[in-house]
């Protein structure tokens, strides 16, 4: 299998490999969570030279964000303070609009950004934080589905139905289904956890049941106050981040019509002939270099008709169907053409090639994955972006393009990957270990995790990072070993009959359940506990009073980017 380009960044940070390529693709990436503070002054000076963030525009942005976060019910004093500090420079985290709010790592992203801002402040550089809601993506399974664990392998699938006519629509405009649908979701989640909670006794079981009900009360409150899918998800996240967690992280919705108007200047900049040509030339050159180096790029090459945004059809029956536009160079004029995938109506936008004007259509334009960051940077001076492996892949092609256009671009930081224990995982692990199967919850893992904590407390950060590297290797090797044992077991079952076959089959089901619960492997090829299960799984183990506390205590400035940790909850 061809490795993803994101392994270049990870191997550079943790092994010191591929330095030349990492510098080319990621602009001398910071090694640690606090390793960029000195470079923010340069970035802020670069932003000042763009004239994107003049007082008039920043005042307007402040008013919009104060209003929009108030509408979501999450405008705390801390959120308002962060909004007013955005003009000084900001650390961004971002996520798509996913049913129920998304997987557990949706909590990890904003607290990583918040921690980075705090580490920066300790070095005398004050930065704000914000969370960008990428709510412009069209309907797709990864956004309309999420899972919670079940007493088995596959997990309970929570899905929002897509009405006829919305197949090409951005998810944020999906209408929320009726009360019966929502009530059924709650019942299915309770039914999933009920048999899992049987491993708990007395007051502990009551505690977990209360936490589950608190999680559902948040999704219910958000549902009751929303009519569209996008509203529902923003209210869930705003409540989690800023009411339950009090992070003070404002939400910035990229599809908010008021935000779209502000983004126009950035999109016009990207569409301008010279900038578009530099972007295309650089992205395609870098894509070839990534492929030639033996890695899989995050996105493909861009064609000569590339346009840095999509158009949403204005016909009512099309429900904002997203349309790809194509660029035609007609000398002094640029003609953007497309055809709505729903009604087939042709779309034509004519503007100046060198100095585009998009003001008349701005409310119908939506961002692309490769233009999102640069467009957001045009309204907020973003100095650090916190992302995961997927973002690390396509940023490797966008960062060199931004450099070629001589515009500032945020430093990329990978948030730490987190695994965490649950009472049901631990109990199942003990049972499997008694049957001589390899499990993550064993003394070797707890010893390694303990080393990380000890070195962190003693400020022995080189030793801490070495222990973190060993822990990551240990987790991946355990996952691989247990899968190998499962393959051998399946072969062994084929030659058995009667009770012996039944016992082996039960063991197989237990291993599959453990792989699912602990590693998020509900099907072949899936890996990542916090990327598989809904944030509810984290919240019922952390408790809402300490929702972000485990992250805050684990993260320190000298920790290398993209670390892998194990969080050991105590009931």
Q: Is 362 helix (H, G, I), strand (E, B) or coil?
A: helix
Residue 507 covered by a domain: yes
Question: What is the crossing angle of helices 105-122 and 535-542, to 10°?
Answer: 70
Separation between Cα atoms, residue 546 and residue 542, nearest integer Å: 6
Residue 138 covered by a domain: yes
Residue 519 covered by a domain: yes
Q: Which residue has the tokens 């070629």?
A: 404
Summarize the chain as % helix, strand, coil (round to 5).
Answer: 55, 15, 30
Residue after which a domain boundary falls, among 257, 285, 313 = 257
Residue 71 covered by a domain: no
Vertex 105, ends 226 and 393: CA angle to 5°?
110
Q: How many domains in the chain?
A: 2
Q: Note if the pTM is more than 0.85.
A: yes
Residue after which a domain boundary falls, among 223, 257, 291 = 257
* Contact by Cβ (8 Å): 328, 335: yes
Residue 344 covered by a domain: no
Q: Which residue has the tokens 């491993």?
A: 199
Residue after which a domain boundary falls, among 232, 257, 282 = 257
- Range 40-47 contact pairs with CB under 8 angstroms and sequence separation of 24 or more: 40/89, 40/120, 40/125, 40/127, 40/383, 40/384, 41/125, 43/89, 43/381, 43/383, 43/408, 43/410, 43/411, 44/88, 44/89, 44/381, 44/383, 46/407, 46/408, 47/89, 47/377, 47/381, 47/408
Where helices occur in 338-442 by DSSP H, the ranges are 372-377, 389-404, 423-434
Strand ranges, E, within 85-193? 90-96, 128-134, 145-148, 156-159
How big is the chain by its Cα radius of gyration, in Å?
24
Task: Give me the domain span that covers residue 237.
Answer: 94-122+133-257
Vertex 503, ends 498 and 508: CA angle to 5°?
125
CA 130 to chain centre: 13
Question: What pLDDT tens digit does each residue of the chain (571 aa) get?
Answer: 899 999 999 999 999 999 999 999 999 999 999 998 889 989 999 999 999 999 999 999 999 999 999 999 999 999 999 999 999 999 999 999 999 999 999 999 999 999 999 999 999 999 999 999 999 999 999 999 999 999 999 999 999 999 999 999 999 999 999 999 999 999 999 999 999 999 999 999 999 999 999 999 999 999 999 999 999 999 999 999 999 999 999 999 999 999 999 999 999 999 999 999 999 999 999 999 999 999 999 999 999 999 999 999 999 999 999 999 999 999 999 999 999 999 999 999 999 999 999 999 999 999 999 999 999 999 999 999 999 999 999 999 999 999 999 999 999 999 999 999 999 999 999 999 999 999 999 999 999 999 999 999 999 999 999 999 999 999 999 999 999 999 999 999 998 899 999 999 999 999 999 999 999 999 988 899 999 999 999 999 999 999 999 999 999 999 999 999 999 997 6
Separation between Cα atoms, residue 307 and residue 271, nearest integer Å: 7
Q: Is 146 helix (H, G, I), strand (E, B) or coil?
A: strand
Residue 67 covered by a domain: no
- Burial grade of 463 (CB within 10 A; 0-12, 13-18, 19 or more): middle
DSSP 137: P
Residue 289 covered by a domain: no
Residue 312 covered by a domain: no
Separation between Cα atoms, residue 108 and residue 255, nearest integer Å: 23
Q: Which two tokens stand for residue 431?
A: 């049972």
């Amino acid at each position: 299998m061809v490795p993803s380009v994101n392994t270049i960044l990870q191997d550079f940070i943790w092994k010191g490999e591929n330095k030349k390529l990492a510098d080319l693709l990621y602009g001398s990436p910071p090694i640690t969570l606090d390793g960029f503070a000195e470079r923010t002054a340069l970035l802020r000076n670069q932003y000042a030279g763009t004239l994107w963030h003049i007082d008039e525009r920043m005042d307007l942005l402040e008013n919009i964000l104060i209003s929009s976060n108030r509408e979501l019910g999450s405008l705390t004093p801390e959120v308002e303070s962060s909004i007013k500090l955005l003009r000084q420079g900001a650390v961004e985290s971002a996520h798509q609009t996913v049913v129920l709010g998304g997987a557990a790592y949706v909590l990890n992203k904003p607290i990583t950004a918040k921690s980075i801002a705090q580490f920066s402040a300790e070095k005398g550089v004050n930065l704000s934080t914000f969370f960008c809601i990428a709510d412009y993506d069209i309907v797709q399974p990864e956004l309309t589905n999420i899972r919670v664990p079940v007493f088995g392998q596959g997990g309970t699938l929570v899905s929002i139905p897509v009405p006829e006519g919305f197949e090409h629509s951005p998810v944020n405009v999906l209408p929320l289904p009726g009360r019966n649908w929502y009530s059924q979701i709650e019942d299915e989640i309770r039914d999933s956890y009920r048999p899992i909670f049987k491993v708990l006794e007395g007051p502990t079981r009551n505690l977990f049941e209360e936490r589950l009900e608190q999680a559902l009360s948040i999704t219910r409150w958000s549902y009751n106050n929303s009519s569209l899918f996008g509203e529902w998800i923003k209210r869930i996240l705003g409540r989690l981040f800023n009411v339950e967690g009090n992070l003070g992280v404002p939400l910035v919705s990229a599809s908010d019509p008021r935000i779209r108007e502000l983004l126009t200047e950035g999109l016009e900049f990207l569409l301008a002939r010279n900038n578009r040509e530099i972007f295309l030339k650089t992205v395609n050159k870098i894509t070839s270099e990534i492929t030639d180096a033996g890695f899989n790029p995050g996105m493909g090459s861009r064609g000569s008709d590339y346009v840095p945004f999509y158009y949403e059809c204005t016909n009512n029956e099309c429900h904002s169907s997203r349309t790809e536009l194509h660029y035609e160079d007609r000398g002094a004029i640029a003609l953007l053409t497309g055809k709505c995938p729903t009604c087939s109506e042709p779309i034509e936008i004519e503007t100046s090639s060198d100095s585009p004007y998009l003001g008349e259509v701005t409310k119908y334009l939506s961002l692309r994955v490769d233009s999102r960051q640069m467009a957001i940077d045009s309204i907020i001076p973003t100095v650090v972006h916190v992302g995961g492996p997927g973002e690390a892949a396509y940023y490797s092609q966008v960062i060199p393009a931004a450099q070629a256009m001589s515009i500032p671009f945020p430093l990329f930081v990978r948030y730490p990957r987190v695994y965490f224990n649950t009472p049901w995982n631990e109990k199942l692990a003990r049972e499997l270990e008694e049957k001589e199967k390899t499990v993550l919850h064993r003394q070797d893992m707890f010893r390694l995790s303990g080393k990380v904590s000890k070195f962190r407390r003693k400020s022995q950060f080189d030793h801490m990072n070495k222990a973190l590297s060993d822990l990551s290797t240990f987790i991946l090797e355990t996952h691989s070993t247990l899968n190998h044992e499962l393959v051998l077991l399946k072969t062994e079952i084929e030659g058995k009959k009667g009770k012996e076959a039944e016992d082996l089959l039960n063991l197989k089901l237990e291993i599959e359940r453990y792989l699912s619960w602990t590693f998020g492997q509900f099907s072949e090829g899936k890996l990542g506990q916090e990327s598989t299960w809904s944030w509810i799984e984290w919240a019922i183990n952390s408790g809402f009073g300490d929702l972000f506390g485990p992250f805050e205590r684990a993260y320190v400035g000298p920790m290398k980017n993209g670390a892998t940790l194990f969080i050991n909850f105590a009931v």
